[in-house]
Chains A and B, each alone.
Chain A
Amino acid sequence: MSSIAKKKGFGSTLWDYLTTVDHKKIAVMYLAAGGLFFVIGGIEAMLIRIQLAKPDNDFVSAGLFNEIITMHGTTMIFLAAMPILFGFMNAVMPLQIGARDVAFPFLNSLGFWLFLFGGIFLNLSWFMGGAPDAGWTSYASLSLASPGHGIDFYALGLQIAGAGTYIGGINFLVTIINMRAPGMTYMRMPLFTWTTFVASALILFAFPPLTVGIFFLILDRMFGANFFDHTMGGNTIIWEHLFWIFGHPEVYILILPAFGIFSEIFALFARKRLFGYSSMVFATVLIGFLGFMVWAHHMFTVGLGPTANAIFAVATMAIAVPTGMKIFNWLLTIWGGSIKVTTPMLYALAFIPSFVAGGVTGIMQAAAPLDYQLHDSYFIVAHFHYVIVGGVVLAILAAVHLYWPLMFNQMLSEKLGKWTFWFFFIGFHLTFFIQHFLGLMGMPRRVFTFGANQGWDLFNLISSIGAAFMAVGVVILVVNIIITVVKNVPVGNDPWEDGRTLEWAIPQPVPFYNFKQTPLVRGLDTFWIEKMEGNKEGMTYAEPLSDIHMPNGSIIPIVMTIGLFIGAFGALYNGEKDWAIPVLVLGLAITFGAMAVRSLKDDHGFHIHKEDLMNDEGGK
């Protein structure tokens, strides 16, 4: 039997996705799951804006409002933005460096399932006695005092999802270090690969503090420890430090891949080499380093003392320098280019002023004395939505349009894409620009309502109308996706016609083994070089056609994850239900049993034979 032939049918397709270790299929699953959580988080945002649309509103109660804002933040950061970016990293990065797959395909699948089940666990809290309600930061004194199981769902869910992210980060690091095609030196890597690399390094260093902090929280809440309880000799500030040692690098984990996506878009649609490539790489690495030195700027008002505040204020302002370098490099990339204003390019052009606005308010908050005024007001809300929506979400929406043909061999409608863009872009500024002024007028963040005599009515109403615009934009995007998938018109490789990097050189649909022969990389923008030299195929090969070694799929990752998922319920109900400890033990037993099977049972994968490869015209 041919080593490439595949079964068809719903059951086998489902089984294929449950057991897949192919980075391209895992990317699709990340995108789908992340997209689902993005919609859930978006619905929560709509509920917030409906509640705040008019004064003294009773659309939701104060307690439910707290749950909604907590879940909105947690879902958007951990379950939407990061997984969607992971999806693009999985889909694009291995192709960009000419790799066969990621370094550890099995772990790649494990990482995805951990994220998904962590996210499901977190969201089950809605149906099992109430969601977490202490904000996405879950500051310890507040979260320890929170009744019910909401915070327990938060802690256990994030622990599971966080493990998945951590595994994914390590996987990307090893892939980029070890699996680059011949000739792909570090300084020839496309910017999206570079930002994936640095973001993964940040994951490597930032997630352990979060894991430690959440373990302390789990022990405090479910197993009677007192790490954060000052009456028992603990210290509540330690949570804040641990959370922000993770939390600040986390925002760079989000924004750096966004920078990478925009760097690709600017070069592609300005049809020019990226201006200042090496300074872009330098700035990316520098932002990564500085990102670890600034966490206490989230805690200026805690009372760290003037010396600490001054040090962290200066370090924070320093980050503006490499970020500014990037902004100017992007502008100079466009300058003199032969610009095509496609949907992804529209997002990229809109990103520059939006993100700069968010960056400028960030520098304002970096000044510690001013931060005492701005702290916990809507000014902060406006700031971080400007950088996250104006940076990360615009990048995600741009990448959906840009990489859709790469991932699915179909083109999203440009016309509907532009409608999405204008609704989203106008709605975004309408929603958040005015929130700066609400903050300056004294409106605190996280309040569930306000009085009619406080003068905040009109601005809040405008903000809510803007949110509705964004929702319309997202609905148009969903419609666009449905229409495109139903029509299913194949577009072939290099659909934007100006692809510069290796991922656009691969035949469509991408064969499951990626490149038949590993490409030889002859410079930055290697596909572009080949095109300019008239190479019709788009690639020079580094090796003769030979057998390809592939990993086997495996159901073990999902079994391991389900074990942790079951065990988490045991931990959650510890000390309350008799079955809690047995369930915890059962869950962990399933996980460790699956790990043992994985360790003891050899799986050498399989080979695709040369003869089959020669007959395979790419695809399927």
Chain B
Amino acid sequence: MSHDAQVYVRSQTEFEYIKQKRKKDMRNQVTSFAIMIFLTLIAFTAVAAGFSVYLIVPVILLLAAVQVVLQLYYFMHMSEENHQVAAFFLYSAVMLAFTFVLTFLTIVWWG
């Protein structure tokens, strides 16, 4: 640290606010973790129960999509402020990947 840098001391109110915010974040993380485990259980159960493939595949894909969103927003902190650029790049990548996969499906493998 440079020797003339200023040290910032938090006030009591700020401290309380941060503490409260961290508590809320923690609750969100635990909740979303529980939801994700639950979703995974549903996926495994669906396969174990021997439902039709035409039901299982879309259900699992849907659950996967939900899990990805939860992961990104709660574990990878995209729900917090100042993540617009990251979100922009991420959604661009999703869009491009979707285009590539769609093209491969339609003109390489099905066509």
Contact = CB atoms under 8 A, between A and B. Distances in A.
Contact of B108 (A204, A209, A237): A237
A305 B104 CA distance: 13
Contacts of A241: 100, 103-104, 108
A305 B107 contact: yes
A238 B2 CA distance: 55
B107 A292 contact: no
B87 to A, nearest CB: 12
Given A177-B85, A546-B4, A549-B2, A292 B108 contact: no
B37 interface: no
A610 B108 contact: no
A interface, how many residues as a size bin? 20 to 34
Main secondary structure of the interface of A (DSSP, over half): helix
A546 B89 CA distance: 35
A144 to B, nearest CB: 18
Interface in B63-111: 85, 89, 92-93, 96, 99-100, 103-104, 106-108, 111
Contact of B100 (A245, A304, A308): A245
A335 interface: no
Contacts of B3: 547
A296 interface: yes
Contact of A304 (B2, B85, B89, B111): B111
Interface string A530-552: 00000000000000001101000
B96 A205 contact: yes
B89 A204 contact: yes
B108 A235 contact: yes
Interface residues of B, number: 17
Q: Which of B85, B100, B107, B108 has the most CB of A within 10 A?
A: B107
A607 B103 contact: no
B2 A607 contact: yes
A211 to B, nearest CB: 14
A245 B92 CA distance: 15
Given A237-B108, A296-B107, A607-B2, 12 more contacts: A201-B89, A205-B93, A205-B96, A209-B100, A241-B103, A241-B108, A293-B99, A305-B107, A308-B103, A308-B107, A308-B111, A549-B2
A304 B107 contact: yes
Contact of A296 (B4, B85, B89, B103): B103
A610 B4 contact: yes
Interface string A583-620: 00000000000000000000000010010000000000
Contacts of A308: 103, 106-107, 111
Q: Nearest 4 A-B pairs (CB), nearest first?
A: A547-B2, A308-B107, A304-B107, A292-B96
A116 B92 CA distance: 31
Contacts of A304: 107, 111
A237 B109 CA distance: 10
Contacts of A305: 107, 111
A204 B107 CA distance: 25
A10 to B, nearest CB: 34
B76 to A, nearest CB: 17
Contacts of B5: 547
Contacts of B4: 546-547, 610
Contacts of A289: 92
Contacts of A245: 100
A577 B85 CA distance: 49
A248 to B, nearest CB: 12
5 contacts: A205-B92, A238-B108, A241-B108, A293-B99, A308-B103
Contacts of A201: 89, 92
Contacts of B100: 209, 241, 245
A209 B99 CA distance: 13
A519 B110 CA distance: 57
Nearest to B100: A245
A289 B108 CA distance: 23
B104 to A, nearest CB: 7
A547 B5 CA distance: 9
A551 B2 CA distance: 14
Nearest to A238: B108
Contacts of A237: 108
Contacts of A238: 104, 108
Contacts of A205: 92-93, 96
A351 B99 CA distance: 34
Contacts of B108: 235, 237-238, 241
Nearest to B104: A241
Interface string A229-263: 00000010110010001000000000000000000
Contacts of B89: 201, 204
Nearest to A249: B96
A237 B103 CA distance: 12
Nearest to B88: A201
A289 B103 CA distance: 17
Interface in A315-343: none
A235 B108 CA distance: 9
A609 to B, nearest CB: 8
Contacts of A177: 85
A483 B59 CA distance: 71
Nearest to A289: B92
Nearest to A201: B89
Nearest to B3: A547
A308 B110 CA distance: 13
Nearest to A205: B96
Interface string B1-25: 0111100000000000000000000
A99 to B, nearest CB: 16
Contacts of B85: 177
A126 B99 CA distance: 39
Contacts of B106: 308
B102 to A, nearest CB: 11
A474 B17 CA distance: 65
Contacts of B107: 296, 304-305, 308
Contact of B2 (A235, A293, A296, A546): A546
A235 B110 CA distance: 13
Given A238-B108, A304-B111, A308-B107, A292 B99 contact: yes
Contacts of B99: 292-293
